Amino acid sequence: MKVKSIKPDIRKVFLVNLFKIFGAAILIVLVLVLLHFTAGLDMFIEIFATFGLEIIAAEALVWFIIAIIVLSIVVLFVNYLVLLNVKYEFYEDKMVIYKNSMLIFTNSTDIPYRQISKVTFNADGFLNTLFNTGSVYLDLSTMGLPVMELEFIDRVAESARYIQDVIRAHLAKVQAEYTEKYKIDGILDKGKFI
């Protein structure tokens, strides 16, 4: 029986990546424009001229800006496709993580709650604070695996608390079942000798 499902908010992820990509693109373009107006891009023209290529600096700058914009759009689209099927489902005894593999296939990973030794979260950073997102970290050292990161989780503190509560409830249930079985076995063992 599925208890709950958590998915990254794709719109927020898209906006965060948009900020990062266009921030880097704007920085590159500003450096190129600054270089064009201070030292001039003509020094690069001489390099290309030795190979027999005639390039106009202003046109090259415009085409470079267009290439950065197109590349940014492609990266954002691929990132959207990767995150489209990412979700984290919580069942009574395990957690299932679904992630894309090679943009086509969905890969699932089952993690029993008894294998999760610690749940922490991080909501630091300007963009995480701006979009109220963050990452939840599951310590899987009992499985011999590194920490599993659940990225771009909305209301990260609340989600981490929910995950801890689900794990705690499962472990309490397992302990109660074990205790009950131990009591019944003890009663049955006493009855054999009468």
Report pLDDT for 58: 72
Distance of CA 35 to the CA centre of its chain: 36
Report pLDDT for 190: 63
Say whether pTM exceeds 0.75.
no
Per-residue b or e along 121-156, where b marks 16 or more CB atoms closer than 10 Å to that residue's CB: bebeeeebeebebbbbbbbbeeeeeeebebebbeeb
Q: Which of 6, 3, 4 is nearest to 121 (CA)?
A: 6
Alpha helices in the chain (DSSP H): 10-38, 42-50, 57-83, 126-131, 156-192
Q: Which of 169, 152, 188 is nearest to 11 (CA)?
A: 152
State the Cα–Cα distance between residues 3 and 193, nearest whole angstrom: 45
Across the chain, mean pLDDT equals 83
The DSSP secondary-structure symbol of 41 reads T
Report pLDDT for 160: 92
Q: What residues of the chain score a pLDDT lower than 50?
A: none
Report pLDDT for 184: 67
State the Cα–Cα distance between residues 114 and 161, nearest whole angstrom: 17
